Amino acid sequence: MNIKIMRYIDYWLGLPLCFLFSGYNWFLKKISFAAKKDRLPEKILFVKLSEMGAIILAYPLLKLIKKQYPRSELFFLTFKDNRDIFKLLDGIIADKNILTINDSRPGAFILDALKAIRKLRREKINIIFDLEFFSRFSMVLAYLINSDKRIGFFRYSFEGLYRGSLLTHKIQYNPLSHVTRNYLSMAQAITKEAKNTPELDTQIGEGEIAFPAHKSKGEAKERIGRKLNELGVSQHQRVFLINPGEGILPLREWPLNNFIILCRLLLENAKNFVVLIGSWGALGKGEILIKKINDPRCVSLIGQTSLEELAELFESSGCLITNDCGLAHLAMLTSIKKFVIFGPESPQVFAPLGINNFVIYSGWPCSPCLSVLNHRKSACRDNKCLKNINPDDIYALIKKSLPTN
């Protein structure tokens, strides 16, 4: 579904549902006199519906919970398009325990959500981690699934982020801390009977922040090799991967004309090849870019690769140049050099972690204006924070960072 439609539903349907269920939950507490016995968690559910990149950034939390509770069974609920990312996350969630919701059509969306609620209620989940950023829909899902503990981000003194009082363990979202650290902070609540204040007990160690290194798979490597050969890319040429943007949040996409200028600079070297990547949403921009460049060494694989194939492509390419998006976090699992362009959103919070990361950020005085605190909805109509990032500067950074031979 279109992101505007999803925001509309989350607001106009999610708000009243959160209010009604909060009242119902308050009433149940008033009439219930039996204290719940704190059980060791046997089944733990993580809910992150959208954003492949955020699922990857949540990996250290999943790893930590699995280490702390090795006998527990982990489940994950997400949108259908995100299912394949778990193939690259070291088998952290068993395939049978990944439940998905088809968000392409409202009817399928509702039906899959009801099926997921029914199945997870039968599983008798002990603990739910709501990894969404102030989404009302995920909060309603978590409440209806029913568990002893529901852990998630709570607004405390932030205004305009109401989603009821359905959490049993309320974690304060830190807008100045990286998302991975915000997620890891949730683990500190799991042993408590309840959490209704924002302070945490311990520091988050650097050793807790680690991601699985991609392990090459022969079949996917062969498939991507054949696709490159069909496009005329030989082993002797250096491949530069470009993701021009998929239109989901146009405000955070570098202008297409800047990508065109950068591609022309890259192609000045006869050894270089530019390969466009991305989902089907990037197809329109890709077609324009191919036409404008008009060079046989600028080709497209947009919409033609699985996530496993993309990971193999990252391993065999010179570098990736992309807007702030999920592909930058997917590339984080590989050794490729990543040049990630930030503008309306903060790299301090969402930048890829690990090695070989080059963040390009203008530091414009009104940037960042997108955040989870405003549901990534800005009044900006002219993203100068991105327009003023010069292609020549990125090209110079690439030349400096890559071998010249």
CA 230, CA 232: separation in Å to the nearest integer? Answer: 5
Continuous H helices in 47-105: 52-57, 59-68
CA 362, CA 341: separation in Å to the nearest integer? Answer: 9
Residue 255: CB atoms within 10 A of its CB come to 15
Average pLDDT over residues 367-395: 93
- Percentage of residues of the chain with pLDDT beyond 90: 76
The model's pTM? 0.92
For residue 402, the model assigns a pLDDT of 85
Mean pLDDT of the chain: 92
CA 136, CA 173: separation in Å to the nearest integer? Answer: 15
The class that CATH gives domain 3-27+37-208 is alpha beta
Q: For the packed helices 256-266 and 283-293, what is the interaxial angle rounded to 10 degrees?
A: 50
Peptide bond preceding 391 in cis form (omega within 30 of 0): no
Q: Does domain 218-401 have CATH number 3.40.50.2000?
A: yes
In a 10 Å sphere around its CB, with 0-12 CB exposed, 13-18 middle and 19+ buried, how is residue 282 labelled?
A: buried
Strand 357-361 vs strand 272-276: parallel, antiparallel, or unpaired?
Answer: unpaired
For residue 32, the model assigns a pLDDT of 64
Average pLDDT over residues 256-277: 96
State yes or no: pLDDT of 354 exceeds 80.
yes
For residue 145, the model assigns a pLDDT of 95
Average pLDDT over residues 302-322: 95
pLDDT band at 30 (very low <50, low <70, confident <90, very high): low
- CATH fold match for the domains 3-27+37-208 and 218-401: yes
Place of tokens 């991105």: 386
CA 357, CA 351: separation in Å to the nearest integer? Answer: 9
Each residue's pLDDT tens digit, 177-188: 999 999 999 999
Continuous H helices in 146-217: 179-185
Each residue's pLDDT tens digit, 197-206: 999 999 998 8
Asked if residues 283 and 248 have their Cβ atoms less than 8 Å apart, the reply is no
Contacts of 105 (CB under 8 A, 6+ apart): 1
Asked if residues 77 and 46 have their Cβ atoms less than 8 Å apart, the reply is yes
Average pLDDT over residues 353-357: 92
For residue 25, the model assigns a pLDDT of 84
Place of tokens 């990894």: 131
State yes or no: pLDDT of 18 exceeds 60.
yes
Asked if residues 361 and 347 have their Cβ atoms less than 8 Å apart, the reply is yes
Asked if residues 76 and 99 have their Cβ atoms less than 8 Å apart, the reply is yes
State yes or no: pLDDT of 164 exceeds 70.
yes
CA 235, CA 316: separation in Å to the nearest integer? Answer: 9
Domain-wise residue ranges, the chain: 3-27+37-208, 218-401
For residue 37, the model assigns a pLDDT of 56
